Amino acid sequence: MKQRTLGRTGQRVSEIGFGAWAIGGTWGEVSQQDAEAALHAALDAGITFIDTADVYGDGRSEKIIAGVLNQRGGERPFVATKLGRRLSPHVADGYNASNLNAFVDRSRENLQTGTLDLVQLHCPPTEVYYNPEVFAVMDEMVAAGKIRHYGVSVEKVEEGLKALEFPNVSSIQLIYNIFRQRPAELLLREAKRRNVGIIARVPLASGLLTGKMGPDSQFAADDHRAFNRNGEAFDKGETFSGVPYEVALEAVEEIRRYVPGDISMAMLALRWILMNDDVSVVIPGAKNRQQAEDNARASSVDALSDETMAALKQIYQAKIAPYVHQRW
């Protein structure tokens, strides 16, 4: 497993991380046994970065992570969590000192640690990025020893660029994949220039870029791929990267021609992200042991050829960009 540095944290982490949304909820049923097995498999494969949030299963994800890490003992991986989405309503005014401290204290309890490695504002309203008081509260929590570092998880490129103006932001998490290529035009370079880590989420476009879905694929009622296709519950860009399902399936068939015979499309999609040195870590999710092991193997996939990279860019520009490029 190859390592990269997570921005100004100075922390060396595995370039493939473990995205722990699926073991929390809204991805269909994932048993406790499968969730724990997936996490064990990722750690056994050399993954040292875990990304979770307090709303993933209302704390279920954080608690599963704590249980597995306590069971394994030894050196702990770097665990990033997020806060803010528990607000109801989810409004900018809710990002105040009282609420932020309460959220951090709850995550410290769930993760069974006195100090959280990294806390990210969880896709807050855009106005939050124009409120320096919010970032001052985060600074205070660092000074108090509750958190070591903080960052942001953004929906839009513009939000990431605004977050870079705050000097103690250590990382930006955003959607970056074959279907969402805009961040590479400016944001990723600017983050690297300012020594801010980049965490690439939704790398497989909610499973589309595994190449295993089709027109007749069915999703459980509690799976966001069934209930959030048009943004009914949260930003629709989080589901299938905001690409209309049928359009995405057509693009997937074109991508399939460029997948070498010895790897899966998912491995190709993860390797495409890692071709960009500005990315610190990519965080595919896993619902079971096999998925976790397959994700980890992407770190050993050979670099993609210039021809393949150019072809994937052309597919994006022709098929996908009209639906997503200017939205996020």
Residues classed as catalytic: 56
CA distances from 317 to 48, 200, 251, 320, 321 (A): 34, 20, 11, 6, 5
The residue ranges of DSSP E strands in 101-193, in sequence order, are 116-122, 147-153, 169-175
Q: Which single residue is written with the structure tokens 């993860």?
A: 270
Distance between CA atoms of residues 141 and 150, nearest Å = 9
Cα dihedral sign, 94-87-245-311: positive
Residues 328 and 291 sit within 8 Å (Cβ to Cβ):
no
User: Residue length, the chain?
Assistant: 328
DSSP 8-state secondary structure symbol assigned to residue 23 = T
Bridge partner residues of 314 (DSSP): none
Task: Determine how many CB atoms are found less than 10 A away from the CB of residue 31.
Answer: 11
